[in-house]
Structure formats: structure tokens, C-alpha cells
Amino acid sequence: MPAQPALKDKHLVVGLSGGVACYKSAELVRELTRAGATVQVVMTEAATQFITPVTMQALSGRTVALSQWDSSQPNNMAHINLSRDADAIVVAPASADFIAKLAQGRADELLSLLCLARPSLTCPLLVAPAMNREMWAHPATQRNVAQVRADGATVLGPAAGDQACGEVGDGRMLEATELCDELIAFFQPKRLAGRTVLVTAGPTFEAIDPVRGITNHSSGKMGFAIARAAAEAGAKVTLVAGPVHLPTPRGVQRIDVQSAQQMLDVVLPLAGLHEVFVATAAVADWRPASITEHKIKKDGSGRPPALALVENPDILATVARLPEDQRPWCVGFAAESHDVVQHARAKLLRKGVPLIVGNIGPATFGRDDNTLVLVDAAGEQELPPGDKLDLARLLVAEIERRMSSLTLRSPEA
């Protein structure tokens, strides 16, 4: 089942102030519309020096608003009308000059006037700074950014890197895909606000020799989706990842490991610092008893070399057995080839955890979609088939519901 548009039914005003980063705004409008949003572009006069209103109109499908004196508005009040049905105003790029205007409450053209006149309770303001590194670091800019935040705006970025002037440093506007992800996250319910979540993802790799090893099928996509969904929900997330090639979700602290023992060594001291532990990693059950120093060569006999194996530590069970004051609320995963519910229930009892999430592994390895069933002491609940990120958000909602239920019951315990 294809993913539902993450910004479906959202109406966004995208404001462009003057700066070279306006070229990214064109791609941002495309990304937002692909995510299901309708977009109204507003440009300052300076922005039109970097990209044309014709381009932005073609991409948004709407006439670009340019002037507070636009007589096409029935009441001649574009600064009022444009924000009243908007779910948010996003200024990208936000130049140093425009941020100064916001901080001082100045309104000498349509975009700053629109930001000042917006109903702040229903139309939040987000700004994506874009400027030279020295301009960003200047005390005046930092004071203005602090004031804009204090006034309720959300500041997205900036990033560090190459700049149009040839210098390198902080001040780059986030990329269009990053800004779109930030907006999607902004609108997600903050179910886990203030919570801490530890996630394991991907396979482990158990070396046999310098070039070979034992591993499991796992792209890591489900675990990375859960880390992203938890961060979107307001949690502080730590992601312990086996060897995978996936970008780190924004706002997530990532620690890379290779083997099951390395994963345990990282997870164990972190477990007591987190309220929730979601073990999605496909940890190899066995590892070689010893690793040869050099690559094992075929000897022509047709017989493989003897390979002694030892069992790997059970990371989920180890965390679940921690003392109560150090034990997070644990969620395990069971990727099975058959009889998902039966095997997931056995794992639930064996590991001693409150929730196991089961799925048919071979049917979803490497894919962007999945089918999950939640198994706990009370029974089973099947989640609708869908995109892994959509399912991760549903799982986060389930975790929040169950933890809230425990919190409500705790005074009676």
C-alpha cells in the first residue's frame, strides 16, 4: 500500500526573502506539493532578483503574491487574507535582513507584514536562515534569532558547508528534502514529548575472517523509520545501528556498531538512561568461536573448513532483566518465515517483555512497506499494511497509549 501524503490537507504559505538559496525554494515547493500540501508563494522584491515569480507560480500552481498593494484582493488586504486559511508560514530562505525585521516587528513589505499580522495561535511561523557564515555568527544576528525564537517562531537550521561566496561554515539553508521532513515532523502529534527512546536497527555482522562473516537479512528501514517517528513525536532518540547504508533521521543521535557484542556493549549502559527500548535489530544468533587472522582459502578438497559457533548474547532479554529502576519499557521485533503470531507470542514469554511486533521477514526485507501484528499478554492486534514510516507512527502511538495507561494506573499500584 503506498504511503499516505504526509502533508495532505495542509495549506502552507512559503515566503522567499532575498538570497542565493532561493534556488532551493523551487525544489522545496515541489517537495511540499508531492507531500500533499497546497502552497501559496509570497516573495519580497529582493527575492525576485534571484528567482522569478513565473517559476514559483508554475511549481505551486498559484499566482505568486508580491505586494501589499495588490488590488486583486477583494478587500485589498493580502497581508490578512493569505494567513487566515494557512496551517503555517515558512520563510525559506530567511535572510539576515528579514530575520532582523521579524525581531523588530517591522512590516514594510508584504512578507514581513504577513508574518506580523498572522493569527499566531493557528498559523505558526517557521524560518530557515540562509546567509554568509560571518553574517550568521554576528552578535546582532544571533540576538535577532534568539528574539524570533522567543516570540514563538521555529528556526530550521542552518546547516554548515560550502557557501555561494566561496567560504565554508554555518549559514547554509537546509536542503529542500530536509526542510520538507522538518515540516512533516512539525505537524506530527508530540505523543512522546519529553520521553527518551533507544532503538536498535539493521543486522549485525559476525566476522569469520577479515573478508567473510555471518549476518541476517535486514535493510534497517523499519528501525530507522521508528527512530524518525519517535523523534517526530518529540522524543529524544538514540539509534544504535548495525552495518546499513541509510541516512540518519534528523534530530536522532546515531551510534554505529558491527557485531552483536558491540551492540550489547553500547546498549546496556544506555538502557537505564532511556524510558523506551525498541529492539528492531536483526541480531545474528551465533558467531564464530574464533576469528582467523587471514582469509580462509579453499584447499581443493571440496570440504568446507570446520566452523565452531557460539551463541551471541540476547540483547533484548538482557535489557528486560535489568533492575526495575534501570529497565526501560521494552518492545521486541519478531521477523518470522511462518506462524508469526505463534512465534511472536513465544518470544514475548521467553524475553519477558510487554510487547512484541511480528512480521513475515522474507516478504518485506529491503522494501518500503510492511505488515505488522502487535502481540501482548492480552492478545493480538494487526496494523493495516502500509509504508514503514506510516506503520512506525502507528507503533509510536501505541507505545504512547500503553505507557500512558501504565502511568495512570501507577498511583493505585
CA distance 19 to 171: 12
Q: Which amino acid is at 288?
A: P
Residue with cell 558467531: 287
Assigned C-alpha cell, 73: 484582493
Beta carbons within 8 Å of 237's beta carbon, 6+ residues apart:
196, 197, 198, 199, 227, 230, 231, 249, 251, 252, 253
106 touches 151 (CB < 8 A) = no
220 touches 252 (CB < 8 A) = no
CA distance 32 to 92: 13
CA distance 210 to 184: 43
Q: Which residue in 115, 165, 180, 330 is the catalytic one?
A: 165
CA distance 210 to 358: 34
Question: 191 — alpha (psi -120 to 50), left (phi > 0) or beta?
Answer: alpha
Beta carbons within 8 Å of 262's beta carbon, 6+ residues apart:
204
- Nearest to 276, CA basis, from 212, 363, 189, 194: 194
Other beta carbons within 10 angstroms of residue 134's beta carbon come to 14
Q: Which residues pair with 335 in a beta bridge?
A: 359
**Known active-site residue 180:** no
Cis before 93 (ω within 30): yes
Q: Which amino acid is at 253?
A: Q
Assigned C-alpha cell, 139: 552578535
Catalytic residue numbers, as ranges: 165
